[in-house]
Amino acid sequence: MEISALQKARYSYTPKLPASLKQNIGEIAVHFGDPTESLADQAALKELFKNIYGKPIVTFAEGQNTEICRPLTVGVILSGGQAPGGHNVIAGLYDGLKKGNSKSTLYGFLGGPSGLTDNKPLEITGGLIDQYRNTGGFDIIGSGRTKIETPGQFAAALDTAKKLSLDAIVIIGGDDSNTNAALLAEYFEEKKAGVQVIGCPKTIDGDLKNEYIEASFGFDTACKTYSELIGNIGRDANSAKKYWHFIKLMGRAASHIALECALQTQPNVCLVSEEIEKLGLSLSQVVDRICASIAGRAENGDNFGIVLIPEGLVEFIPEIKQLIGELNDIMAANQEEFARIESDSFHEIAVWLAKKLSGVSESVFLSLPESIAKELLADRDPHGNVQVSRIETEKLLIQMAETRLAEMKKAGAYKGKFSALGHFFGYEGRCAFPSNFDADYCYALGFSAFVLIASGLTGYLSSVRNLTAPANEWIAGGVPLTMMMNMERRHGAQKPVIRKALVELDGAPFKAFEKARGKWAVETCFLFPGSIQYYGPGEVCDQPTKTLRLEKCRA
């Protein structure tokens, strides 16, 4: 098979490991902290997770480990959206297993969690993993979004585990997939199946994080990829001086990606969903904010600019959030009826919905352009989420800005020319070659997952922290999955879920943005970060995101 020069070079990149994981297996000591509690709803979660609730935080350090590493058989699943570095998690897990005992076996389940329930394993050999080291994508075994939730699916997972004599399963996924990991760990414990379950924090969205999980992998590479593109567009805009570019960025709920890209590129406007929700801004007020920048720049003769839009925005605008909540409940409660009318004309759907929506939501629904209203009705993902990547918010905002600017022009409040282009950057960044940061971080996460398994633990998320320090000083270990959980409404019912980490408005990244954005709104301050560099000086190749550096006060 023909491969690119970079791919060839990346095969021989050696990821950096924390000092604690560089040791012989017998020299990796495991330290246990105090028992932990969930974020909220402790009683309900204790009841649901009788066996795995409240475990201690685990940290690895250089020391003595008298556990003999017997041969292990482990299965690994890539779950949910692609994120750069997934292959390196598997590589770290594979290398750890083989270092522990050369007779250990690693299976990858094909196509995500359904590969486990449908018993579709592929043995990961040295030859296979060597073709994927330090490369992007999840194509080594594929991914999927199946949610393991029915008694039949749990039983099928156990059946596969027994057939393959699995000691453990590693689920590489985001908040929903790791919620699944917790449910599976609990089920196996309840059944005394002797199968451990360990999660790894993946998602480009960056919203699976806390004190012990400083970043989800893939966020670094995806943001750097989008920032390169935004910088290039900024330079084009500043050269041609004729277009406003409205750029929607992935990040299903949280605005971490948009915020990080704003810090890297200094656009004229960056909407932050969490702020919009806090201020209770209506869609119309959001458009006001954008138009204020457009009008301000037009005063200086600058009829061009950049607006960054987080893809989850619509779910944070109070009136649309309420509408989506009502739609979710209506669609969950009337699945069959809705499926029957789904192919009907929009008018018939609207009439059907009007009877069920509250008065306020009905008028919001009817005020939206038909294409957007239809997108709000599209299938939810298996975890009950609206598929926001399919909602063309950038087009909606362009359309609304056009109308508003025409009104302002009539009133003499705007004298410029407005010509806008919409973009959506999402899939472009999810399978890029992992940055050195993600390559190292992912390899360490995979290796750490192996140590958690070898230590007999279950219901943990692999954790590597102190990430702004050199990799040698990173701290590896595990965080109990139940520690990150609370109860939330999903598919019309209360469910245990890992809480998403949204942008904190009093956090350092947002504060840095807030301080600068007034100037960026009117002046042209674009930055051009360029493409990710894999070889060269550390300050060019190995820097983590600005978000992480600001959060850890090293920016």
A 10 A CB-CB count for 412 gives: 7
* CB-nearer residue toward ligand FBP: 16 or 252: 252
Write down the least CB distance from residue 413 to ligand FBP, Å: 36
- Contact with ligand FBP (CB under 6 A) among 15, 18, 81, 112: 81
Binding mask 345-384 for ligand FBP (x = CB under 6 A): ----------------------------------------
Q: What would the 3-class secondary structure string for 125-184 be? A: CHHHHHCCCCCCCCCCCCCECCCCCCHHHHHHHHHHHHHCCCCEEEEEECHHHHHHHHHH
Write down the least CB distance from residue 375 to ligand FBP, Å: 13
Write down the least CB distance from residue 312 to ligand FBP, Å: 8
* CB-nearer residue toward ligand FBP: 379 or 514: 379
Asked whether position 204 contacts ligand FBP by CB under 6 A, the answer is: yes
Segment holding 194, helix H or strand E: none
Please report, as residue ranges, which positions from 426 to 485 form the binding site for ligand FBP (by CB under 6 A).
430
Write down the least CB distance from residue 237 to ligand FBP, Å: 25
Write down the least CB distance from residue 104 to ligand FBP, Å: 28
Please report, as residue ranges, which positions from 237 to 256 form the binding site for ligand FBP (by CB under 6 A).
250-252
- Contact with ligand FBP (CB under 6 A) among 389, 466, 486, 533: 389
Segment holding 435, helix H or strand E: none
- Contact with ligand FBP (CB under 6 A) among 15, 18, 80, 310: 80
Q: What would the 3-class secondary structure string for 489-516 be? A: EECCEEEEEECCCCCCCCCHHHHHHHHH
User: Which of 175, 205, 220, 302 is labelled catalytic?
Assistant: 205
Tokens representing 114 are: 């359904």
Write down the least CB distance from residue 83 to ligand FBP, Å: 6
CA 67 – CA 209 distance, rounded (Å)? 31
Please report, as residue ranges, which positions from 489 to 528 form the binding site for ligand FBP (by CB under 6 A).
none
Please report, as residue ranges, which positions from 7 to 46 form the binding site for ligand FBP (by CB under 6 A).
none
Asked whether position 544 contacts ligand FBP by CB under 6 A, the answer is: no
Adjacency order of strands within the sheet including 121-123: 28-32, 58-62, 475-480, 460-465, 196-201, 168-173, 73-78, 105-109, 121-123
Listed ranges 23-31, 121-129, 203-211, 346-354: which one lies at the site for ligand FBP (CB under 6 A): 203-211
Nearest to 93 by CA among 104, 103, 84: 104
* CB-nearer residue toward ligand FBP: 113 or 305: 113
Sign of CA dihedral 310, 392, 527, 537: positive
Question: How long, in residues, is the chain?
Answer: 555
CA 386 – CA 252 distance, rounded (Å)? 9
Nearest to 74 by CA among 25, 107, 98: 107
Write down the least CB distance from residue 519 to ligand FBP, Å: 29
* CB-nearer residue toward ligand FBP: 189 or 394: 394
CA 267 – CA 328 distance, rounded (Å)? 34
Asked whether position 206 contacts ligand FBP by CB under 6 A, the answer is: no
Residue reference for tokens 């609370």? 486
Listed ranges 197-205, 393-401, 477-485, 513-521: which one lies at the site for ligand FBP (CB under 6 A): 197-205
Listed ranges 156-164, 201-209, 523-531, 544-552: which one lies at the site for ligand FBP (CB under 6 A): 201-209
* CB-nearer residue toward ligand FBP: 168 or 172: 172
Nearest to 394 by CA among 311, 330, 284, 336: 311
Write down the least CB distance from residue 538 to ligand FBP, Å: 28
Segment holding 258, helix H or strand E: helix 256-265
> How far is Cα of residue 94 from the mean position of the Cα atoms in its chain?
24
* CB-nearer residue toward ligand FBP: 414 or 425: 425
* CB-nearer residue toward ligand FBP: 251 or 478: 251
Nearest to 534 by CA among 2, 11, 92, 1: 11
Identify the three-state secondary structure at position 256: helix
Residue reference for tokens 């029957």? 340
Residue reference for tokens 């966020």? 219
Q: What angle do CA 428, 1, 218 make, to 5 degrees?
A: 30
Asked whether position 135 contacts ligand FBP by CB under 6 A, the answer is: no
Segment holding 414, helix H or strand E: none
CA distance to 249, 316, 466, 491, 534, per residue, from 252 (Å): 9, 11, 26, 17, 28
- Per the annotation, the verdict on 205 as an active-site residue is yes
* CB-nearer residue toward ligand FBP: 424 or 450: 424
Asked whether position 205 contacts ligand FBP by CB under 6 A, the answer is: yes
Asked whether position 388 contacts ligand FBP by CB under 6 A, the answer is: yes
Nearest to 293 by CA among 325, 312, 270, 317: 270
CA 429 – CA 441 distance, rounded (Å)? 18
Write down the least CB distance from residue 430 to ligand FBP, Å: 6
Task: Please work out the total of residues on this chain that contact ligand FBP, with binding judged by CB under 6 A.
Answer: 14
Nearest to 465 by CA among 261, 100, 222, 217: 217
Binding mask 156-175 for ligand FBP (x = CB under 6 A): ------------------x-
Write down the least CB distance from residue 340 to ligand FBP, Å: 26
- Classify strands 121-123 and 58-62 as parallel, antiparallel or unpaired: unpaired
Binding mask 303-322 for ligand FBP (x = CB under 6 A): --------x-----------
* CB-nearer residue toward ligand FBP: 58 or 250: 250
Q: Report the Cα–Cα distance between both ends of the chain, in Å, rounded.
A: 42
Asked whether position 189 contacts ligand FBP by CB under 6 A, the answer is: no
* CB-nearer residue toward ligand FBP: 425 or 526: 425
> What one-letter code names the amino acid at 386?
V
Residues binding ligand FBP (CB under 6 A): 80-81, 83, 174, 203-205, 250-252, 311, 388-389, 430
Active site residues: 205
